[in-house]
Amino acid sequence: MTKIAVILASTRPGRNGAPVAQWVYDHAKQRSDADYELIDIADYNLPHLDEAVPPSMGQYSQPHTQRWADKIASFDGFIFVTPEYNHSTSGALKNAIDFLYAEWNNKAAGFVSYGSAGGTRAVEHLQLVMGELQVADVRAQVALSLFTDFINFSEFAPAAHHSASLGVLFKQVVSWSNALENVRTGAAVDR
C-alpha cells in the first residue's frame, strides 16, 4: 500500500502546528487509499546540518542522519504541515529537508500551511525546494489563516470548508505518489 507521511514542520515551543498536523492525520486515518503516518521532525533532534559530504552522495556519517534517511525513504509521498515564518517555511523543516537527497526523489508532496496570510509564501518556497529534490508537488493546498482558523491566534478551529480541500489534497498526493512508483523503481535499479 502507498505510504504517505504527514510531516509536522515546526519545532517551536507552543507551536500551532501540532493541532493542525493532528487534524490532517485524523482525516487521513479515515481514508483507505494509503497508509498514513504522522512524523514530527522535533522527534528526530536534527542539529544544523552536520554531514561533511553533500546529501546527494548518500554517504551519511551521523546516526541521526541515517535514522532520518531510513524514515523518509520508507514513504511514497508527503504532506507537509508548515508554518509561515518571515515569508518562508520554518528553518527546522528546511534543515531537515537539506539532510537528505535521494530519499525525497520521485515522490509526491502536498502542503497544509498556516500563518497570517495562510502560509502561502512558505509553500511557494517549498515548491522551489521540491523541484530541486525531484518531488512532484500537487496543485491542491490547504491554507489556514491565523485570523479565521484559530481562536486568539492559538486555538485551532478550522473553517468547515477546509475538510473538503484537504480531501482533494489527499487524492492528488496519493494519485501522484502511485503514478511515480515506476519512476522510483527504475531509479532504484539505476543506483
- Count of domains in the chain? 1
Residues 17, 83: contact at Cβ < 8 Å? yes
Find the CATH number of the domain harbouring 89: 3.40.50.360
Residues 33, 3: contact at Cβ < 8 Å? no
What is the reported pTM? Answer: 0.96
Q: Give me the percent of the chain exceeding a pLDDT of 90.
A: 96
Grid coordinates given for 168 = 482533494
- pLDDT at residue number 185: 86
How many angstroms separate the CA atoms of 82 and 113, rounded?
A: 5
Residue 187 has pLDDT above 90, yes or no: no
Residue 190 has pLDDT above 80, yes or no: no
Residues spanned by the domain of 160: 3-190
